[in-house]
Structures are given as structure tokens and as C-alpha cells.
């Protein structure tokens, strides 16, 4: 059965999500503040798709598929009326979003999933404007949504478990990966992203390094690992005892900013030092460690080759 998807807010993020859903085979209706804006955004999407095809980023038939499957609704109400899944992607202002959700709730089917693409606003706060809030959750795509593979799924306390499952299923059909997190300020993605940015600005303000040198170190050292491993897998492979020693050193000048995490101390007290001991955050079985290290090394070489092939980004 073909899914019927409504995207409320057809700008850059909403339009990208519409492309993703359409290429996964869904029928997509987009809507915005006016019919004229929605029509203009659909034309932009098609032109953008044409360029993506020419650049080899989208399938060769993507223009035809998106022209066929992404349609314009005259109003928000028309867009959501028969939708199975509704994704809101309007500006990050709670009053605007509340107004949208009231209109969506009044027009949508009672069993339709209603989702928000908010980056930081509390899902529970947004749910106050939704009728049947058990069908509401955050489904947070990242920019640019056609090409970033991860999607953050954020239920609030009242979200029904089956709604989370259905939302994940819809996202998985697009080929993307999901991670389900709790409804806390910033969720996970932006708490991590802004923690890194904050420390980077501290280094800049202290005169430790230039923006260019900080960026170089991030992308060529620990950031180089991040396409393949998250922070816990990286810590386990480095050795949790090594991390503990590094924290002790950092604390000499930054005792509050770099207090040793309790969960790290607890693992060390249990003798769990990461892959070297066969236990840690990720608990990789000892017999799998040689395969993991070999895979890691191949992955890093392949990424280096890709970076050489692509050349530096055209920033200068």
C-alpha cells in the first residue's frame, strides 16, 4: 500500500524531506503559507532534483518520480486530510508551530501520525496543541535531509509505543537510520553538536588556535573516525583507562569543565577498560576485536582515498 505523506512547510528542510519520501515511493502533498509559495517551492524542488540527477546524487528517474509523486495542496487542511503521516517543518517558533498543530489536528484523520522536525523545542510543549497527543512525536531530519542518513526520533511521555514503531518504519523505508531518544532540551544531536561548538569557541577566544586550524584538527583526527564510530566505540578502542588519565590531566586547568564522568569511573572500577579487556561501553566480544580493528583500518584508508578523490571543499 502506497503511503500518503503530508509535509507542512515546503522550504529547504520540508522540501528535502518531501524528496526523500517521494523517492521511497510515497505520495506526498506539500503545503505552506500560501498556494503561491507552495507552487514556487515545488518548482524549486524539481529544479534541484534535476541538478542532483545531473551530479549523480539522485537516481536517473528522480525528476519524473518527484514530479509524479509530490503534489501541491491548496491549504494545510487539504494536505493533511487523508495523510497517514504528517511532518511539520515550519520556522522554529513555538507559537507558529502551535497554530499549525491546531489546524492539522482539526483536519487530519484521528489515526494519522503527526510529527515535528523541530531541532530544540520540547516535544511535550508542542504536543499541547495536538488533539490525541499520543500520536505525536519528533522526527528530526538533519540538513541536507536528502543526504544525511540519520534521523532523531523523539517521543514525549504520552506518545504511544506503536506510533514510535510506525514512525521508525516510515523513516527506514527511505533508507535512513533512526535513533530514539528522550524529550530533553536539545535532544541528543544538538546537545553534542553544540557542546563541540562551544568548546571550539572557547579555544578560539583563548587564542589557542585559529578557526581554520581548529576545523582542520576536528576533521582530520577524531572527526575522521566519526563516520564509522560514535564516542563510546571510539573510547572503548582507545582504552577507558587512557581516557581516565586524560581527564586527570585536563582537570589541572579545567576542573569543572572536564570532571571525570561517573559512568567512566564505574567501568574502570569494574576492570572494564574497553576492547583491551573485552568489556566497556560497547562490550565487543574478545574474539571479534581482531576483525573490528581490521575493519576500522580498512574504513580509514577508504575514507582517506575518498577525500583525496574529492579534493578540498571549495571554500576559498
Q: Which residues belong to the annotated binding site for NAD(+)?
A: 9-14, 32, 92, 97, 119, 143, 276
- Per DSSP, the chain holds a count of helices (H) and strands (E) of 14, 8
Nearest of 242, 211, 209, 238 to residue 225 by alpha carbon = 238
Q: What is the CA radius of gyration of the chain?
A: 23
Question: What is the CB-side half-sphere exposure of residue 271 using CA atoms within 13 A?
Answer: 2
What is d(CA 201, CA 157) in angstroms, rounded to the nearest whole number?
35
Torsion of CA 275, 277, 283, 289, to 10 degrees: 40
Phi and psi at 3, nearest 5°, equal -80, 145
DSSP 8-class letter at 85: E
Distance (Å, whole) CA 252 – CA 148: 38
Closest to 156 measured CA to CA, from 183, 181, 133: 183
Among positive and negative, which fits the CA dihedral 135, 141, 147, 149? Answer: negative
283 burial level (CB within 10 Å; 0-12, 13-18, 19+): exposed
From residue 66, how far is each of 30, 50, 61, 155, 157 by CA, in Å? Answer: 12, 10, 9, 30, 36
Instruction: Determine the Cα–Cα distance for residues 250 and 87; give it in Å rounded to an integer.
Output: 43
Binding residues: 9-14, 32, 92, 97, 119, 143, 276
> Hunting for cell 583500518 — which residue is that?
297
Q: Are 176 and 140 in contact (CB under 8 A)?
A: no
Amino acid at each position: 500500500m502506497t503511503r500518503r505523506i503530508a509535509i507542512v512547510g515546503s522550504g529547504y528542510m520540508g522540501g528535502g524531506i518531501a524528496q526523500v519520501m517521494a523517492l521511497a515511493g510515497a505520495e506526498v502533498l506539500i503545503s505552506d503559507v500560501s498556494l503561491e509559495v507552495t507552487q514556487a517551492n515545488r518548482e524549486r524542488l524539481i529544479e534541484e532534483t534535476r541538478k542532483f540527477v545531473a551530479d549523480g546524487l539522485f537516481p536517473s528517474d528522480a525528476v519524473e518520480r518527484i514530479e509524479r509523486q509530490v503534489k501541491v495542496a491548496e491549504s494545510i487542511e487539504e494536505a493533511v486530510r487523508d495523510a497517514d503521516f504528517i511532518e511539520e517543518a515550519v520556522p522554529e517558533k513555538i507559537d507558529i508551530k502551535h497554530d499549525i498543530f491546531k489546524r492539522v489536528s482539526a483536519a487530519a484523520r484521528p489515526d494519522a501520525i503527526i510529527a515535528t522536525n523541530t531541532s530544540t523545542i520540547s516535544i511535550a510543549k508542542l504536543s499541547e496543541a495536538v488533539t490525541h497527543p499520543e500520536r505525536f512525536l519528533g522526527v528530526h531530519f538533519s540538513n541536507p535531509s536528502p543526504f544525511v542518513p540519520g534521523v532523531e526520533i523523539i517521543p514525549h511521555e504520552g506518545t504511544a509505543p506503536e506510533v514510535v514503531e510506525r514512525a521508525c518504519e516510515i523513516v527506514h523505508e527511505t533508507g535512513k537510520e533512526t535513533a530514539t531518544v528522550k524529550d530533553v532540551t536539545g535532544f541528543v544531536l544538538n546537545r553534542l553538536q553544540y557542546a563541540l561548538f562551544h568548546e571550539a569557541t572557547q579555544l578560539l577566544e583563548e587564542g589557542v588556535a585559529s578557526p581554520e586550524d581548529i576545523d582542520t584538527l576536528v576533521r582530520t583526527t577524531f572527526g575522521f573516525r566519526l563516520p564509522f564510530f560514535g564516542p563510546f566505540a571510539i573510547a572503548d578502542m582507545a582504552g577507558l583507562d587512557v581516557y581516565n588519565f586524560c581527564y586527570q590531566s585536563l582537570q589541572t586547568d579545567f576542573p569543572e569543565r572536564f570532571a571525570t564522568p561517573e559512568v567512566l569511573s564505574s567501568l574502570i572500577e569494574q576492570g572494564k577498560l574497553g576492547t583491551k579487556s573485552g568489556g566497556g561501553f560497547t562490550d565487543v566480544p574478545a574474539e571479534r576485536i581482531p576483525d573490528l580493528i581490521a575493519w576500522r583500518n580498512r574504513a580509514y584508508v577508504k575514507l582517506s582515498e575518498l577525500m583525496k578523490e574529492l579534493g578540498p571543499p571549495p571554500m576559498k
